[in-house]
Amino acid sequence: MILGAIKESKDGEKRVALSPQVVKQLLAKGFEVIIEGGSGMGSSFDDDSFRNEGASIAEKSEVFSKADVLIKVNPFTEQEADMMKEGQVVFSLLFHQTNASLCEKLASKKVSSFSMDAIPRISRAQSMDVLSSQSNLAGYKAVLLGADEMTKIFPLMMTAAGTIQPSKVLIYGVGVAGLQAIATAKRLGAVVEATDVRMETKEQAESLGARFITVEGQADSEGGYAKEVSEEYKQKQKEAVNKSLFNADLVITTALVPGRKAPVLINKDQVGQMKRGAVVVDMAVEQGGNCEMSEAGKTVETNGVKIMGIPNLPSTLATNASELYAKNVMTFLLHLAPEGEFLFDLEEEITEATLITHQGEKRK
């Protein structure tokens, strides 16, 4: 089976779908690998690093014509879909719930497409879970970016000139990104508080040293993700969290609901009551943002509060992000094709959840 990785076409994307180390492992499993030239440069992998592990380097058109399996990080473009051939298998973050036209095209091309973002959050799929591996890095980087914009340090510091009090950090959302943000902020010496609609996350947040802000009527998760909550709950959360929000030096928001616009957790009026010098890092900005004033790709400043809307945080750590993504892909591939041939077992939970188009049909 020939695997082909192509260069990312999304503006600003530095990741690549396969790393040299994973190429080496795939070749040892009997696969052939072909990489579009220049694909890994943003991740500090030059073409020779792939060649040295046994991969072939080719033009994009050759990769599409030769590969049995096409692998990418971001969704394929419709122009790329036009280049596909019947019977090919494709892996990427398809985000199929919001990319219906692309999925229709993949179905019309009779391509079997697997959406890496649809991998279920179950224990046996953890090593394939791309959203978790990438969110882990994003949560870490969000804290560092916020710290860089602050006019204060994180830790308590005793000096001859007096004592510097530790910074206060508030984190909305205790998923993978939020937990890593808590851990990173605590390591840097901040006082950390966190809130989430899922009561089950309280113990996780507290185990990392954060104070969990409890809101009456908190919900359970659905498939490992937060459920959409009522307007009444949102109002209760706002009232419970406002004191911490208005005292925070750094706020990190991570709340996402799969397939929907990100919930607004901080509105314009709340920003107006935050203290001067505070920083908000909105990790949900690509899906509309958790802060009403966030703008993708910009840092907005109002009344002395900076709101950072940095999209695609994993790409800012492209070497590690690509390595983890490639390992996720390899584990997923070996699960779907353990003997070098795809099983397409639609009764199997992971396959059923991730196979979006197959045999000319759009399944989800």
Contact (CB, 8 A) for 53 and 24: yes
Respond yes or no: is residue 132 known to be catalytic: yes
Q: Catalytic: which of 117, 129, 196, 282? A: 129
Q: Catalytic: which of 25, 68, 221, 225? A: 225
Q: DSSP label at 159?
A: E
Contact (CB, 8 A) for 75 and 329: no
Of 89, 27, 62, nearest to 337 by C-alpha is: 89
Of 317, 334, 298, 350, nearest to 124 by C-alpha is: 350
Contact (CB, 8 A) for 335 and 119: no
Q: Which segments of the chain are extended strands (E)?
A: 2-5, 32-36, 56-58, 69-71, 89-92, 112-115, 157-159, 162-164, 168-172, 191-195, 211-212, 250-253, 279-282, 298-302, 305-309, 355-358, 361-362
HSE-CB at 258 with a 13 A cutoff on CA atoms is 19
Q: Catalytic: which of 21, 25, 65, 121? A: 121
**Alpha carbon distance, N-terminus to C-terminus of the chain:** 27
**Contacts from 346-352 at CB under 8 Å and sequence distance 24+?**
349/120, 349/122, 350/119, 350/120, 350/122, 350/124, 350/125, 350/128
Respond yes or no: is residue 133 known to be catalytic: no
Respond yes or no: is residue 233 known to be catalytic: no
Respond yes or no: is residue 260 known to be catalytic: no
Respond yes or no: is residue 101 known to be catalytic: no
Q: Catalytic: which of 61, 126, 207, 230? A: 126
How far apart are the C-alpha atoms of 6 and 18, rounded to whole Å? 9
DSSP lists the bridge partners of residue 169 as 192, 250
Q: Catalytic: which of 92, 132, 237, 322? A: 132
Q: Name the CA dihedral angle for 139, 141, 142, 145, rounded to a multiple of 10 degrees.
A: 170
Catalytic residues, by residue number, are 121, 126, 129, 132, 225
